[in-house]
Amino acid sequence: MNWIETTKELPKFIDGKDYSENVLVWNNNELCVMNYCKVNHSVFETLYYWANAFGNINKRDTEYDDDYAPIYWMPLPSAPIKENTINYKEKYTIAKTTLEAVLFYIVPDDCRAMVYNALDELNEKKLK
């Protein structure tokens, strides 16, 4: 990724929103996380400004200040992805109960049957 001059291009607004995704900016000799916003004050006046997320890349409750004057920005990098990581939410149907969810996500496959058998035995004793 390369730095983009704010005089040449600004972050695009999210569809249906008055702000952009959070981006990295070079502002007053500091690296910041900000988004670009607009406010319609009247039919004839629309203001555009930068708002600070104070380092929180997911923050939407950003703060405007007249002193924010970034000269460069770039999109935030995407989250790291491990090739061998299994996405269990896609692989398995979501469990019917919290206990089943715990069994699917935490207990190894070869131990799961043993846990179910123990739960069945407890349930049978409870019913007696």
- Please give the pLDDT value at position 96: 41
Q: List the structure tokens of 44.
A: 């004839």
Domain identity same for 104 and 49:
no
Same domain, residue pair 69 and 92: no
Which pLDDT belongs to residue 107?
A: 63
Which pTM does this prediction carry? Answer: 0.57
Residues 6+ apart with CB under 8 A from 66: none
**Domain co-membership, 103 together with 42:** no
In the numeric block, which tokens belong to residue 56?
A: 């929180």
Range of the domain at 111: 88-127
Q: Is the pLDDT of residue 92 over 50?
A: no
Region 83-110: what's the mean pLDDT? 54
Confidence class for position 32, pLDDT limits 50, 70, 90: confident
Same domain, yes or no: 8 and 71:
yes
pLDDT reported for residue 13: 93
Regarding predicted confidence, which is higher, 92 or 60? 60
Are 70 and 93 contained in the same domain?
Answer: no
Least confident of 28-32, 42-46, 81-85: 81-85
Count up the domains in the chain and report the number: 2
18 and 42 belong to one structural domain:
yes
67 in a domain, yes or no? Answer: yes
Say if residue 52 is in the same domain as residue 98: no
Same domain membership, residue 48 and residue 107: no
pLDDT at 95: 40
20 inside domain: yes
